[in-house]
């Protein structure tokens, strides 16, 4: 038993899995940057106040926040999400709009860990501040959709809804509360508690005894102001124009108070229905202002690496193969030769590893095999004397003895292709 191990809900990502994570980021960056988004890097630690507004939504928010007082007496928290930090950054730096950014990194929530749910978890996302145009909602959603496709995922469902303007939303919540409180068949005990805190969330319940009340509940669309309805229509028209499949789900809600108008979520039907949401987002007009900035609308989404990778596993896509080395240098003359040869190979842009500890040729060949190098470069006393090296294809091909000066060329241009010699 090791004296120390990772704290609950936190883990090491070892190679080669870490390579997959890095490629995940790279694919996301490529999609976002193709649309003019730049990477924003914010601190993982911020003043508690930056996230305080999130607490107005569910009580879970404040309960699950990693917060503490630092040595200067400042109340701080590890970020539970990035959207609030983006808005804080906008308010702080006042960049010109539209401000289009993407991000990737760890977030922290003090939850009870289980598979696909960690206390430190990575998310990628994009946010745009300062544009009201529904076509921007369309762009953001389409980029998320494009990203899932870039990973190779096919069994993805996009669901969208609109919470309307803040006033619409407020009126709807009151109507919902009234409906649920007076519904004859009542609600489950859990939903009755949810109702006190966040009536919208009751719509999310999957408990059978709640379904009758939910089915009979008022529809948000009936509360949309003309402007909100028009915005939502425009979003749908834009998605259709781009050929992005979607389903309007009137019962889709998001837990936080800051969401306005468009909200959306991507689900994978390759996962259990209980946790099939890979990511989501929406509009949060007003959040920047709430954080001390100018009035500015915002829209964005975030998605989690863990669940998305699980979905990839389920669909058998985005399987990252370990990187192969070009060459593995086996030196049984003490190791100095290998130092020079690997340096030369690397300088030529090739990837090369070598054996250490002056182990036997057999042992070094086993390492070469394990490294999955394309070639073993073997050097012994004979080769040193002759100024040559043995180049052996590890796939079983014939090994050849080549002058040391031709080694790099031989590996860059495999035998059989250099017929002009």
Partner RNA sequence: GUGGUCAUAGCUCAAUAGGUAGAGCACCAGGUUGUGAUCCUGGCGGUUGGGGGUUCAAGUCCCCUUGGCCACCCCA
Nearer to RNA, 97 or 188 (CB): 188
User: Using CA atoms, how far apart are residues 285 and 51, in angstroms rounded to an integer?
Assistant: 16
Cβ-based neighbours of 122, under 8 Å, separated by 6 or more:
21, 104, 105, 106, 107, 304, 305, 306
Whether the CB-CB separation of 303 and 279 falls below 8 Å is answered with: yes
Nearest-approach distance from CB 206 to RNA, in angstroms:
7
DSSP string, 49-110: HHHHGGGGT-HHHHHT--EEE-TTS-EEEE-S-SHHHHHHHHHHH-PPSSEEEEEEEEEE--
Nearer to RNA, 34 or 400 (CB): 400
CA-based radius of gyration for the chain: 28
Nearest-approach distance from CB 304 to RNA, in angstroms:
9
Nearer to RNA, 97 or 120 (CB): 120
Nearest-approach distance from CB 363 to RNA, in angstroms:
4
Burial string for 146-181 (b: 16+ CB within 10 Å, else e) reads: ebbeebebeebebbbbbbbbbebbebbbebbeebbe
Q: What number of other Cβ atoms are within 10 A of residue 63's Cβ?
A: 11
Task: State the DSSP code for 114.
Answer: B
Q: 125 has which bridge partners? A: 103, 302
Nearer to RNA, 152 or 397 (CB): 397
Nearest-approach distance from CB 256 to RNA, in angstroms:
4
Nearest-approach distance from CB 362 to RNA, in angstroms:
4
Task: State the DSSP code for 389.
Answer: E
Nearest-approach distance from CB 61 to RNA, in angstroms:
4
**Which residues of this protein are in contact with RNA, per CB under 7 A?**
1, 5, 7-9, 51, 54, 57-58, 60-61, 64-65, 80-81, 83, 109, 111-116, 190, 193-194, 198, 201, 204-205, 207, 254-256, 272, 274-275, 277, 280, 302, 332, 359-363, 365-370, 376, 378-383, 390, 392, 394-396, 399
Nearer to RNA, 113 or 420 (CB): 113
Nearer to RNA, 251 or 366 (CB): 366
Nearest-approach distance from CB 1 to RNA, in angstroms:
3
Nearer to RNA, 230 or 382 (CB): 382
User: Using CA atoms, how far apart are residues 400 and 393, in angstroms rounded to an integer?
Assistant: 9
User: Using CA atoms, how far apart are residues 208 and 277, in angstroms rounded to an integer?
Assistant: 20
């Amino acid at each position: 038993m090791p004296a120390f191990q990772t704290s609950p809900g936190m883990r090491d990502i070892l190679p080669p899995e870490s390579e997959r994570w890095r490629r995940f980021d790279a694919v996301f960056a490529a999609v976002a940057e193709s649309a003019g988004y730049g990477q924003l890097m914010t601190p993982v630690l911020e003043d508690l106040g930056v996230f305080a507004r999130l607490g107005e939504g569910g009580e879970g928010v404040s309960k699950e926040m990693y917060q503490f007082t630092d040595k200067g007496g400042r109340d701080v928290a590890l970020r539970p999400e990035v959207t609030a930090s983006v808005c804080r950054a906008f308010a702080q730096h006042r960049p010109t709009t539209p401000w289009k950014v993407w991000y990737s990194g760890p977030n922290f929530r003090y939850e009870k860990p289980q598979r696909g749910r960690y206390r430190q978890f990575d998310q990628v996302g994009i946010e745009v501040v300062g544009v009201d145009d529904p076509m921007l909602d369309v762009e953001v959603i389409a980029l998320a959709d494009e990203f899932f496709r870039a990973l190779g995922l096919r069994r993805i469902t996009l669901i969208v809804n609109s919470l309307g303007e803040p006033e619409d939303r407020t009126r709807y919540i009151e109507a919902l509360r009234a409906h649920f409180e007076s519904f004859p068949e009542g609600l489950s005990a859990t939903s009755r508690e949810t109702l006190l805190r966040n009536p919208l969330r009751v719509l999310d319940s999957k408990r059978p005894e709640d379904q009758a009340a939910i089915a009979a509940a008022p529809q948000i669309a009936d509360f949309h102001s003309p402007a909100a309805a028009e915005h939502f229509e425009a979003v749908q028209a834009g998605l259709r124009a781009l050929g992005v499949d979607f389903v309007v789900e009137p019962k889709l809600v998001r837990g936080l108070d800051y969401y306005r108008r468009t909200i959306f979520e991507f689900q994978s039907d390759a996962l259990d229905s209980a946790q099939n949401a890979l990511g989501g987002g929406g509009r949060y007009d007003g959040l920047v202002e709430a954080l001390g900035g100018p009035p500015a609308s915002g829209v964005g989404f975030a998605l989690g690496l863990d669940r998305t990778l699980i979905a990839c596993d389920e669909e058998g896509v985005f399987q990252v193969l370990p990187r192969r080395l070009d060459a593995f240098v086996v030196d049984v003359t003490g190791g100095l030769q290998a130092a020079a040869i690997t340096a030369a190979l690397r300088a030529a842009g090739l990837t090369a590893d070598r054996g250490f500890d002056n182990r036997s040729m057999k042992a070094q060949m086993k390492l070469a095999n394990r490294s999955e190098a394309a070639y073993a470069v073997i050097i012994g006393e004979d080769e040193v004397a002759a100024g040559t090296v043995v180049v052996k294809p590890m796939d079983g091909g014939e090994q050849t003895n080549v002058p040391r000066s031709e080694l790099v060329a031989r590996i860059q241009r495999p035998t059989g292709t250099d017929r002009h010699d």
